[in-house]
A and B are shown apart, each in its own frame.
Chain A
């Protein structure tokens, strides 16, 4: 079981309010991702849940039990740190055994769990090495191993993949998702990489300056961003936001169109512009279009190879049903 409820949780460092009163419910078995720009309070929120920081005000409940004043070890949560935080002088086996040893678990049970975790995480051959003799990905797996042997109510991850190279990151992303499917335990995952958020999450929590901007499934956030911040943050490349006369034509202060929802043509269309940089990814091509009179640049995604090059004049047509409209406060107009 791992249902975590935050009730008006507030955090101040001195006079600085990093997390204004915040309500959030995380259901049992859910994979929740906190995303937001750097410094928005994701790590702080995670550390509040873990008990590594004291809440200034409000209440945290785990499975309905008040946990606000419980020390970290008593909350039944396990955390995987960005720096892995392995114990450098202990072997991998001892690292994984450490939480069980601290809990006074019988030796044979410890051994059984270590073997299970090592098998699940492909660490069997490395059990007697020190962390310093492992690669980044292996260290990450040891850190996860140390977390799963405790059979916690929920896992907390703080940007666990940010120290890995791109290929490894994709691999570990899948492994963590699979782990979640297999264990069916609540996981809270902090990242500022919105691709990780989109691919892994059951539920995404978008944060800005400690405030929750929107909570929802990845597709909900993609289809119906509640405001311009979420609209700009979710999706890659970013949504094009257009203000002014063109927006007022649609009865809004700002309109947003995703790069993949604009059709490109060399001969005709609603908007006219000139191609700046073209990024060829093979499967897709991203065009940065200037001189449209709408915004500094518009980003357009065209599938595959299109016969357009730097300096060409293009015509753009937004797909009418994919235009998002926002009011003067940046809120979505239904």
Chain B
């Protein structure tokens, strides 16, 4: 894009895509904001009227609101910690020359191709079920009470399931980053007397910082809107214990048929996402600069 001419040509060329994308985003956004200002209940058709910020007030005063807010952040934070730490360790492991490397790599990536609903159901019924699940069998085998994961630790269980789904993504990105580490740098550090742990800390980890940033940013976008896993496992319960913002919006608009309230929740979710994004960019965005 060196010359004035090529710059303006580039602008004209990309404008259809930009306009389409803008419409694609603006129309639903505007509609959501509009609905959020209406009294709009599907059980009472024809009674829609403008109520100002009442929906927001009700959403905010809902006792489930703060729980959902906290759960959303816990879910995002928990999964990020598990996947980044686990991803770094797995990537280092997969980078070691070993027998059957190709097969192992494919196995590690596999969870990413399983649909969220399916994997959550598999976890719920085959692993975590307190009667017939594998974990219950293990507990019984060593003589312990089976633990009912989804009842007694619902949020932690969902964090586990979602982490399992996202670990391959993190591993894959971090593995390619590790492979681009110059082996002479490692050897230089070895000659400089760095122990394996200091080599990891001073050479590998700084080298991975950019890839870790990318993993965190991309995953956050998707983790803020985790829904299917909650729907098929706990339904947000027991009580509100595993309700996040997305699930609360769903419960409002489709279980209570309150489109107005749901839309207000949607707008709150957008605001939360932006706050998180600003925080993240402040904290780790500088890693993306060359």
- Co-complex (A, B): yes
Residues of A participating in the B interface, judged by any CB pair closer than 8 Å: 50-52, 71-73, 77-79, 81-83, 85-90, 98-99, 102-103, 146, 150
B188 at the interface (CB under 8 A from A): yes
Which of B182, B187, B202, B207 is the one whose CB lies under 8 Å from A52? B187
B contact residues around A89 at 8 Å (CB): 206-207, 209
* B176 CB-CB contact with A under 8 Å: no
**Inter-chain contacts of A52 with B (CB < 8 A):** 187, 190-191
B192 to A98, Cβ gap below 8 A?
yes
What residues of chain B have their CB less than 8 Å away from a CB belonging to chain A? Answer: 182, 184-185, 187-195, 198, 202-203, 206-207, 209
Neighbour of A78 across the interface among B189, B191, B206, B207, CB < 8 A: B191
Contact A83 B207 (CB under 8 A): no
Given A81-B187, A83-B182, A87-B202, A73–B192 Cβ distance below 8 Å?
yes
Given A85-B187, A85-B188, A87-B202, answer yes or no on A73-B182 (Cβ-Cβ < 8 Å).
Answer: no
CB pair A79 B188 closer than 8 Å: yes
By secondary structure, the B interface counts as helix
SS class, residues of chain A in contact with chain B? loop
User: Among the listed B191, B202, B209, which residue makes an inter-chain contact with A73, where contact means beta carbons less than 8 Å apart?
Assistant: B191
Complex Cα spacing A218 to B207, Å = 43
Instruction: List chain B residues, Cβ under 8 A from A77.
Output: 191
CB distance from A156 to the nearest CB of B (A): 9
* A73-B193 CB under 8 A given contacts A83-B182, A85-B182, A87-B203: yes
Q: Please pick, from B185, B190, B191, B195, the residue contacting A87 in the complex, using a CB distance under 8 A.
A: B185
Report the Cα distance A89→B206, complex, angstroms.
Answer: 7
The docked-state distance in angstroms from the alpha carbon of A50 to that of B184 is 13
Let me know if B189 and A98 touch, CB within 8 A: yes
Q: Identify the 8 closest CB pairs spanning chains A and B, nearest first.
A: A73-B193, A99-B192, A85-B188, A85-B184, A89-B206, A102-B193, A81-B184, A72-B191
Q: With A and B bound together, what is the CA distance between A71 and B192 in angstroms?
A: 11
A98-B184 in contact given A73-B191, A78-B191, A103-B193 (Cβ < 8 Å): no
Minimum CB–CB distance from A268 to chain B (whole Å) comes to 58
- CB-based nearest A residue for B205: A89
Inter-chain contacts of B206 with A (CB < 8 A): 87, 89-90
Residues in B neighbouring A98, C-beta threshold 8 A? 189, 192, 194, 202
Q: B190 touching A72 by the CB < 8 A rule? A: yes
Chain B residues with CB below 8 A from A102, complex form: 192-195, 198
Q: Cβ of A81 and Cβ of B192 under 8 Å apart? A: no
**Complexed CA–CA distance, A81 and B203 (Å):** 16
Q: What would be 19 A-B contacts, judged by CB atoms less than 8 Å apart? A: A52-B187, A52-B190, A52-B191, A72-B187, A73-B190, A81-B184, A82-B184, A83-B184, A85-B182, A85-B185, A86-B185, A86-B188, A87-B188, A87-B189, A89-B207, A89-B209, A98-B202, A102-B192, A102-B194
User: Which residue on chain A has the smallest CB distance to residue B207?
Assistant: A89
- The one of B185, B191, B202, B203 that contacts A50, using a Cβ cutoff of 8 Å: B191
B187 touches A99 (CB 8 A): no
Measured CB to CB, the nearest residue on chain B to A71 is: B190
Q: Which residues of B contact A87 (CB under 8 A)?
A: 185, 188-189, 202-203, 206
Contact for A81 among B188, B193, B202, CB less than 8 A: B188
For B193, list chain A residues within 8 Å (CB). Answer: 73, 99, 102-103
Q: For the complex, what is the distance from the CA of A83 to the CA of B181, rounded to whole Å?
A: 13
Which residues on the A side are within 8 Å of B198 (C-beta)? 102
For B189, the chain A residues whose CB sits under 8 A away are: 87, 98
A99: B residues at CB distance < 8 A: 191-193
19 further interface pairs, Cβ-Cβ under 8 Å (given A79-B191, A83-B182):
A50-B191, A51-B191, A52-B187, A72-B191, A73-B192, A77-B191, A79-B187, A82-B184, A85-B184, A86-B185, A87-B188, A87-B202, A87-B203, A87-B206, A89-B206, A98-B189, A99-B192, A99-B193, A150-B192
Rounded to whole Å, the gap between the CB of A151 and the closest CB of chain B is 13
- Chain B hits for A90, CB < 8 A: 202, 206
Looking at the assembled complex, report how far the CB atom of A333 sits from the nearest CB atom of chain B, in whole angstroms: 45
Alpha-carbon gap, A71 to B203, bound state (A)? 19
Task: Kindly list chain A residues whose C-beta atoms are within 8 Å of the C-beta of B184.
Answer: 81-83, 85
Complex-state Cα separation, A73 to B196, whole angstroms: 12
